[in-house]
Amino acid sequence: MSTSLRRSRYDVAVVGAGAFGLASAYHLIEERPELSILVVDARSGPGEGSMGASNAMVRDIFSSSDNRLLANRSIAFYRHLMDEHEELRGPPPLLDLYGYLWLLPEQAWNEFPRFLRSAEPFVDAEMVPLEALRSLPGLAPAPPRWYEGDDAPPPEPIVGGLFGRNCGAVAPEVLARFYRDEAQRLGVEFRFDTCVQRLSFEGREEILRHEPSGRPFAFQEHVPGRLRISRVHFGDGRAVDADAVIVAGGAWSEKLLHPLGVGTACSPRPETLYSASGPAVEELLDWTSPLNPIDTDHGRPRCPFLILPTGAILKPIFRERQMWLGGASSLARPIGTREDPARDGRLDYSMSAFGDRAGFATDLLPAVTPYLPRFGRSDLRLENSWGGYYSHSPEGLPVLVAEAYGVFFIGGDSGSGIMKADSLGRLVAAAYEGRREARLFGGRSYPWERLSLRRRSVEEERIIL
């Protein structure tokens, strides 16, 4: 048993101090201040898993009404935090809603207006005619070819845009610190640099277990109140007891849950981002767009987050005079994590090890340069490359599993978890307390079982970036 922890038994252990684990711990302690809660993470601080490697954008434009609601309410909560806490106003501000601009081929241009009319909750977005996009520096709306010498049919022309206003950037380190500090203030204990290697039913005398596997005799699942998770084992051989465990370990969650027979239905895939600078980037950063975002630079609209018809994305980083690029494809990238905390007792994740500098020229730029040819010039500088994991659920919506014996899973971010994290933290708290419905920020109720696997009731998400 660890001697350096405050207790030898906790009401709740949370594995993972990423966006989901942090929001879960925060909402749980807010609602139940008497609980003893321990959050454990293999990294040395909060938000240093995929959260720290992410593009950290927020939007409430999704095709699924569940995703829309979860994101819309989380964004509203983050905005509310900025109103309440001066230190969250930056720099960098917790939220900077400078907008998303989708550059649309014909089919999407025709479909989006229908979607906007029917979207509930209301989506703050407008269709942008091509004429209004002509000032976008270097834009070639109708590329003649993919690249010099290629005779395949050309890329689809851009016929207009969709500008999302309640969209922009979040500062993940600011959000992670806020949740950690507030949870800590309310009594949650954090333990970093500590890897969880396995979860077990050990130590509860009433549970009959197979030797040497430790697996409980199966019939006990039907004995009311008998089965209860009990122990959290660390990679250094120590352990702590817990009456409930919330696994919020991102892409690595399966490694702890599968040995217990708990499925997540999620597939982790590596995702890479690149930062670039140079004249083509400068021109975009200096663009005074004709669009009207929520957050301006002293009244001046800035270049929004750009999404090309190929799925390539460009995020303006105004202060560093860079653009982050990514998102083209995960084609033929193996599913699964390279790291295995259950096997190794440690989590050797490093976001820079996911860098793939060669992929910038071979995979990403060919999806950008047809529409922004200046990005193909030799004066574009690749500054850096890094990555983490998207944990994809089958439909692109989060997954929340609650086992009767005190094991919970929250995951399936599908590349858009930070923007929904606050809502999901509230759902986890409701599931833990045995309530059917959670109250999202602003008061709207949401039955968390819609995101479960047994009673899942969601429509497929079609806008995954």
- Contact footprint for ligand FAD (CB under 6 A): 15-21, 40-43, 48-51, 53-57, 195-196, 248-250, 252, 256, 271, 273, 341, 347, 387-390, 411, 413, 415-419
Q: How many residues does the chain have?
A: 465
Q: By C-beta, is 155 or 197 nearer to ligand FAD?
A: 197
Q: How far is the CB of 59 from ligand FAD (least distance, A)?
A: 8
What single-letter amino acid sits at 303?
Answer: C
Q: How far is the CB of 97 from ligand FAD (least distance, A)?
A: 14
SS3 of the chain:
CCCCCCCCEEEEEEECCCHHHHHHHHHHHHHCCCCCEEEECCCCCCCCCHHHHCCCEECCCCCCHHHHHHHHHHHHHHHHHHHHCHHHHCCCCCEECCCEEEEECHHHHHHHHHHHHHCCCCCCEEEEEHHHHCCCCCCCCCCCCCCCCCCCCCCCCCCEEEEECCCEEECHHHHHHHHHHHHHHCCCEEECCCCEEEEECCCCCCCCECCCCCCECHHHHHCCCCCCCCEEEECCCCEEEEEEEEECCHHHHHHHHHHHCCCCCCEEEEEEEEEEECHHHHHHHCCCCCCCCCCCECCECCCCEEECCCCCEEEEECCCCEEEEECCCCCCCCCCCCCCHHHHCCCCCCHHHHCCHHHHHHHHHHHHCCCCHHHHCCCCEEEEEEEEEEEECCCCCCEEEECCCCEEEEECCCCCCHHHHHHHHHHHHHHHHCCCEEECCCCCEEEHHHHCCCCCCCCCCCCCC
Q: What is the distance in angstroms between the CA of the first residue and the CA of the last residue of the chain?
A: 44
Q: Which two tokens stand for residue 343?
A: 């096997």
Separation CA 390–CA 251 (nearest Å): 7
Q: How far is the CB of 196 from ligand FAD (least distance, A)?
A: 4
Q: How far is the CB of 198 from ligand FAD (least distance, A)?
A: 9
In this structure, the dihedral spanned by the alpha carbons of residues 419, 421, 422 and 425, taken in order and rounded to 10 degrees, is 170
Q: By C-beta, is 155 or 326 nearer to ligand FAD?
A: 326
Q: By C-beta, is 159 or 266 nearer to ligand FAD?
A: 266
Contacts of 295 (CB under 8 A, 6+ apart): 93, 95, 96, 97, 98, 168
Residue with tokens 């970093």: 192
Q: By C-beta, is 101 or 418 nearer to ligand FAD?
A: 418
Q: By C-beta, is 16 or 304 nearer to ligand FAD?
A: 16
Q: By C-beta, is 64 or 374 nearer to ligand FAD?
A: 64
Q: By C-beta, is 372 or 419 nearer to ligand FAD?
A: 419
Q: How far is the CB of 327 from ligand FAD (least distance, A)?
A: 8
Separation CA 42–CA 311 (nearest Å): 33
Q: Which two tokens stand for residue 109?
A: 């241009």
Q: By C-beta, is 156 or 202 nearer to ligand FAD?
A: 202
Q: By C-beta, is 146 or 192 nearer to ligand FAD?
A: 192
Q: By C-beta, is 230 or 264 nearer to ligand FAD?
A: 264
Q: How far is the CB of 192 from ligand FAD (least distance, A)?
A: 9
Q: How far is the CB of 71 from ligand FAD (least distance, A)?
A: 8
Q: By C-beta, is 374 or 420 nearer to ligand FAD?
A: 420
Q: By C-beta, is 40 or 365 nearer to ligand FAD?
A: 40
Q: How far is the CB of 393 from ligand FAD (least distance, A)?
A: 11
